[in-house]
Amino acid sequence: MKQLMLISLLFFLHACSNESKILNGLDISSNGNNKDFKNKEKYSELIPTQNYIIAQEYKKQDNNSLYLEYLIKAAKAGDPIAQDSLAGEYAFGEILEKNDEKFFYWAEKSALSGYINAQVNLGMAYYSGSNGLKKDKDKAKKWFSLAADKGDEIAIMYLNKISSE
């Protein structure tokens, strides 16, 4: 179980680490000295991915309020990485209160959009019976298969494990 949680955490952290510091020609560095980054009104109508990038910058600055504001904006606008990250926040309960229903809502939205990490995360949740989901090897296999079809090695490993049980 600890190994499963560690793998989930690694995927979550990996998804959050893929970001840029230049946005529409504006430096959004997290050094706290940039006036453009501090003026959040300039970013109110950004595409979902840009809101996600800004959310990650606020997270680096330990500004959880603005991190969540931009993460939720990106998730609601359809960014599958933001949706998966928001699901992770509800799963781990470190910044947001742990909420299994909201975990499932956001993880499923992300997974249905084709985001591999979310598909693997849902597969693991069904496989282990975590995050409010009952153990269900058929549903786990469904999500792992979608990710495995795209070459995800962890999903392939779990499919092999399910087949051998």
Q: Give the confidence band of 17 by pLDDT, cuts at 50, 70, 90.
A: very low
| Distance in angstroms (rounded) separating the CA atoms of residues 59 and 63 | 6
Instruction: Render pLDDT for 70-99 as a digit per residue (tens, 0 to 9).
Output: 999 999 999 999 999 999 999 999 999 999
Instruction: Render pLDDT for 50-73 as a digit per residue (tens, 0 to 9).
Output: 889 999 999 999 999 999 999 999
| Distance in angstroms (rounded) separating the CA atoms of residues 134 and 157 | 21
Q: Give the confidence band of 49 by pLDDT, cuts at 50, 70, 90.
A: confident
Where helices occur in the chain by DSSP H, the ranges are 2-16, 35-38, 48-60, 64-76, 80-92, 100-112, 116-128, 137-148, 153-164
For residue 37, give both structure tokens: 């980054």
pTM above 0.95, yes or no: no
User: What is the CATH architecture assignment of 2-164?
Assistant: Alpha Horseshoe (1.25)
Please state the domain extents for the chain.
2-164
Contacts (Cβ under 8 Å, ≥6 apart) of 48: 73, 74, 75, 77, 78, 79, 82
